[in-house]
Structure 1
Amino acid sequence: MTAEPSAELLDRALVEEAAKKSGLLWVRSEGGRDQALWHAWVEDAVVVVGDGGEQPLGGLAEGVNTVVTLRSRDKWGRLIAFRATAELLTPFTAPWKAAVDELKSKRLNALDHEGVTDRWAADSRVLRLAPQGLSVENPDAMPDADHAAVPVPTGATTRRPVPEALPRLLLRRRKKR
């Protein structure tokens, strides 16, 4: 007779599978807002690179407690969320190199693909977010809240109305051709 897999084992397997399949996740620091980050899965943890010309990491820093949310690859909806503490990886150590190698393979549109390792070592931060304990949200335990957030304050404005004369000018040009 085989033993049933534990809830923690199933939970970890779902986190790993979701992290490997999706290139985007959301991280919420204590008291902060959810922010979308691209990532990679390396040695049982999510790794992200940011700042220094890469994605902004905001309040994400060494020792900060976070909630990481992963989406479903096929439905793109919220699949699982877990707690993690951010760990800053020291440049050129073995864990940092493993993380950078995997992140570099995901960063296909880097302008300086050959020099990205040195640039990340000098200007960016590579953080490791390892799952801690059971997930806080999973397919069997989803919250009832809608998770809607107030938009971030910005100086951007909406487009002004189209000037009244513009449609006539555009139509006149077409007729002349």
Structure 2
Amino acid sequence: MTSELLGQALVEEATKKSGLIWVRGDGAPAARAVWHVWHDGAVCLLGDGPGEQPLPGLADGGRAEVTVRGKDKGGRLVTWTAAVTELTAGSAEWDATVAELKGKRLNAPDGEAMTGRWARECRVLRLTPTGDTAPLPDGDLAASPLPSPATTRRPIPAALPRLLLRRRGRK
């Protein structure tokens, strides 16, 4: 029982403090970084409209995998499973959620009129934790870079340090 409570506390606190999370919905090939708001015990997302973040693979009634990073070093803290619910525009829950999202939305092109645009053109999703958390991986998950004609930087020319020191001496 206490381990479940600790898991819930970790999910809530880590997600609240992180400004960016990675979400992978059912059928999505990869996780996508999204901005969010933690409101009333769940992650709330806005997207799939013109000028807003895409939310591929997230459907009402589906599931999602949410990965939260640490604010200090940016490393993975916890990965948890969520139930996805799409909120109906104009409902009391939608209004409360949009009020929270509105405070976090940066650089909106239409200012105060954005909530009307969201109601017409966007989806507001609620990702509620199911209580399942995934164990942290043992190894790193870094993928090898794809082949590219780009090269790494070459060593600096031997004369460069002398040229830089000479410029400092003139001032």
TM range (shorter): 0.7 to 0.9
Partner of 2:161: none
How has the CA–CA distance of structure 1 residues 62 and 28 changed in structure 2, closer, same or farther, with 3 Å as cutoff?
same
2:79 paired residue number: 81
Do structure 1's residue 25 and structure 2's residue 25 form an aligned pair?
no
1:8–1:134 contact (8 Å) kept in structure 2: no
Query: What's the counterpart of residue 144 of structure 1?
Result: 138
Count of equivalent residues: 147
Deviation of the 1:35 alpha carbon: 0.5
Structure-2 residue corresponding to 1:130: 128
The CA deviation at 1:134 is: 3.2
Taking structure 2 as the reference length, the TM-score comes to: 0.78
Superposed displacement of residue 34, structure 1: 0.6
* Unaligned stretches of 5+ residues in structure 1: 152-156, 160-177
Aligned partner of 2:165 in structure 1 is: none
Number of the residue aligned with 2:9? 13
In the superposition, the TM-score normalised over structure 1's length comes to 0.76
Q: Identity rate of aligned residues, in percent?
A: 53
Q: Which aligned segments of 4 or more residues in structure 1 are displaced greater than 2 angstroms?
A: 144-151
Paired position in structure 1 for 2:37: 40
* Matching residue of 1:56: 54
**For the structure 1 residues 158 and 46, does the alpha-carbon distance in structure 2 shift closer, same or farther, using more than 3 Å as the test?**
farther
